[in-house]
Structure 1
Amino acid sequence: MQAQLRKSLPQAAIAWFLASPLTLVLAGFLVLPIVMIVIVSFWGATEFSIYPAFLFDNYEFLLSSRVTYAVFLNTAKYALVTWAITLVLGFTVAYFLAFHVRSLTWQVALFLLCTIPFWTSNIIRMISWIPFLGRNGIANSALISMGVIDEPLEWLLFSDFSVILAFVHLYTLFMVVPIFNTMMRIDKSLIEAAYDNGATGFQTLTNVIIPLTKPGIVIGSIFVVTLVMGDFITVRFMSGSQSANVGRLISNDIALLQYPSAAATAVVLLITVLIVIGILLRFVDIRKEL
């Protein structure tokens, strides 16, 4: 039956037929919601109602406000700092698992150990830092008892430090996984050839391992940057509502029932994220990894 069907239909038609179920799912649950958000972003709103229209008022207000640029700059700061820290940590962990752990059993065991924090929800993992970093928390109590400080450090909690710390805790694994996956595909004979030709460990790292790991680095960077830029609950809790990012801006508009304004902000954020992803994809062709 399948053989007869293949003979009667051209290869292109078979390919489209096989891809149609996934295409319908993506169209219904991804493309259609985005289209609706774009449409609503042009609607008008009053204090008590929302009405369909084609207005640029939401975008005009958004792009003419200094608050918008400050919030986007703060979001970019969180994303950039978190990306840099998770890249260093993720690369280090992946390098250790791929090249220093020889046994496959131990590689799997240690990799699963990295996933233990994901057995609980993000909110629980994030809130667990509050009693640790608080004024009378474990960190301050330990530092005072050791004589390192004389009084509690106020900046440990409800600050940019605590926000970035929570982001790093939540999203480092998203950097570890693609880098580790790419490193495991590296032919070990290339590394041995580098050593045989007199290359040092650092030269092998910079000239062999890092270039071959670029696809994993780019994939991990896309994961981390997009997750941080879209997150709002972490900034709210860990900053004590003293800081904001674009996600919180959208959340506040939704809480005030200003859906057109929230939709316009979401569209601008989406465009910004797509630009960032486009820049990252200029460095490497990740289709080889998929």
Structure 2
Amino acid sequence: MADQIVAARGRSKIPKVTATRRPWAISAQLQAAPLALVFIVFFVIPLGIIVLVSFLDYNDYAILPTLTTRSYTETFEGCIDQLPDVCTILKTYATTAQFCFAVWLLTLIIGFTISYFLAFHIRSTTTQIVLGLLCTIPFWTSNVIRMISWIPLLGRNGLINQILMGAHIISTPIEWLLFSDFSVMLAFVHLFTFFMVVPILNSMLRIDRSLLEAAFDAGASGWQTLWHIVVPLTKPGIVIGSIFVVTIVMGDFITFGVMGGQQIASAGKIIETRLNALQFPPAAANAVILLAVTLVVISLLTRLVDIRKEL
């Protein structure tokens, strides 16, 4: 009897399972299509054109339709011969990196402090929202106007020098307040600290308050709680804010020019100078080099934490 049952099962047809396309998968692709199209048209294609132009030859008045690496070789021309000294282009990138690090450190300290105050010392959600919106008020005006507003304060005959001289604290005006490294970093911190505040605050608001209470119950001090609980859980926000600040400072040339009095070199200024001279292939080559350096920095930052969990 058992053999007959097995034989009957063997003769029965086993239905074939066919892979069916899930309707919501098609819907998701259609929803992502407009954004993907915008990304391709306004980012991928222009970036491809810049890379292509960087490999074209040129003369004093025209771009030549000939592929060459001249723009890249001329950018670093003489760097090997000057070793162990650093050539001008590398000095410029080193100066830009120093500004990036200084601005990143200052914005991180200020942004973390503001975010910590809003997240853990302001109990009312309404008050948190109001204070957060107050931080956005400077963005209602142009960055250039916000930079220029520092000149009447920091200039040789500016308000700060007049107050200090009127109080007999100094006898001569302070020269380094304006058109110096100090004024450039001050403008950067003023302009871009908010880019550090928002992601850090977002991460801090997600922290479970019971973790802090458990740490205090276990006898942890305020600094121990901050270092072992708040900072690790805030790493995604720190990395996102760092990416914003570093990428903006790396490519900036307006702030360097306005607040530095056109006296401080930067990677962005190199590109601007090439464009003003109508040397588009060298400008494109420097843009590609700057993009590569920025991508390396971003990849190093993203290795610290998986920011996809934050997004």
- State if a TM-score over 0.5 links the two structures: yes
Alignment of 1:128-139 (within 5 A): 128-139=149-160
Cα distance in 2 for partners of 1:205, 1:145 equals 43
Cα distance in 2 for partners of 1:113, 1:85 equals 20
Q: Which residue does the alignment assign to 1:200?
A: 221
Cα distance in 1 for partners of 2:21, 2:46 equals 37
Q: 1:84 aligns with which of 102, 105, 116?
A: 105
Q: 1:237 aligns with which of 254, 258, 261?
A: 258
Cα distance in 1 for partners of 2:209, 2:169 equals 46
Matched, 1:97 2:97: no
Which secondary structure does the structure 1 equivalent of 2:193 belong to?
A: helix
Q: Which residue does the alignment assign to 2:269?
A: 248
Q: Which residue does the alignment assign to 2:185?
A: 164
Q: Which of structures 1 and 2 has the bigger CA Rg?
A: 2
Change (3 A) 1:186 1:9: closer
Which secondary structure does the structure 2 equivalent of 1:283 belong to?
A: coil
Which secondary structure does the structure 1 equivalent of 2:271 belong to?
A: helix
Shift of 1:44: 0.9
Cα distance in 2 for partners of 1:210, 1:43 equals 48
Q: Which residue does the alignment assign to 1:16?
A: 29
Give the stretch that moved more between structures: 7-16 or 22-31: 7-16
Once the two structures are superposed, residues 114-134 of structure 1 have per-residue CA deviations (whole angstroms, 9 ceiling, x without a partner) of: 111111000000011111100
Matched, 1:58 2:79: no
Q: Which runs of 5+ in 2 are unaligned?
A: 1-19, 79-86
Aligned sequence identity (%): 55
Which secondary structure does the structure 2 equivalent of 1:52 belong to?
A: strand
Cα distance in 2 for partners of 1:18, 1:182 equals 28
Q: 1:114 aligns with which of 135, 157, 162?
A: 135
Give the stretch that moved more between structures: 272-281 or 101-110: 101-110
Matched, 1:34 2:55: no
Cα distance in 1 for partners of 2:112, 2:192 equals 13
Give the stretch that moved more between structures: 12-21 or 43-52: 12-21
Once the two structures are superposed, residues 183-207 of structure 1 have per-residue CA deviations (whole angstroms, 9 ceiling, x without a partner) of: 0000001001100100000000000
Shift of 1:68: 1.1
Aligned length: 284
Shift of 1:172: 0.3
Cα distance in 2 for partners of 1:269, 1:8 equals 43
Query: When the two structures are superposed, what TM-score results if normalisation uses the length of structure 2?
Result: 0.89
Query: When the two structures are superposed, what TM-score results if normalisation uses the length of structure 1?
Result: 0.95
Matched, 1:224 2:245: yes
Q: Which runs of 5+ in 1 are unaligned?
A: 1-6
Shift of 1:15: 3.4
Cα distance in 2 for partners of 1:21, 1:116 equals 32
Cα distance in 2 for partners of 1:168, 1:212 equals 24
Cα distance in 2 for partners of 1:203, 1:138 equals 43
Once the two structures are superposed, residues 23-74 of structure 1 have per-residue CA deviations (whole angstroms, 9 ceiling, x without a partner) of: 1110111111000000000011111111122100100011225221111111
RMSD across aligned positions (CA): 1.2
Shift of 1:8: 5.9
Q: Which residue does the alignment assign to 2:210?
A: 189
Once the two structures are superposed, residues 209-266 of structure 1 have per-residue CA deviations (whole angstroms, 9 ceiling, x without a partner) of: 0000000000000000001111100000111111111111101111110000000000
Amino acid at match of 1:159: S
Amino acid at match of 1:136: N
Cα distance in 1 for partners of 2:193, 2:248 equals 11
Give the stretch that moved more between structures: 218-227 or 16-25: 16-25
Q: Which residue does the alignment assign to 2:14?
A: none
Which secondary structure does the structure 2 equivalent of 1:243 belong to?
A: coil
Shift of 1:175: 0.3
Cα distance in 1 for partners of 2:172, 2:274 equals 39
Which secondary structure does the structure 1 equivalent of 2:60 belong to?
A: coil
Cα distance in 1 for partners of 2:127, 2:25 equals 45
Give the stretch that moved more between structures: 93-102 or 106-115: 106-115
Q: Which residue does the alignment assign to 2:9?
A: none
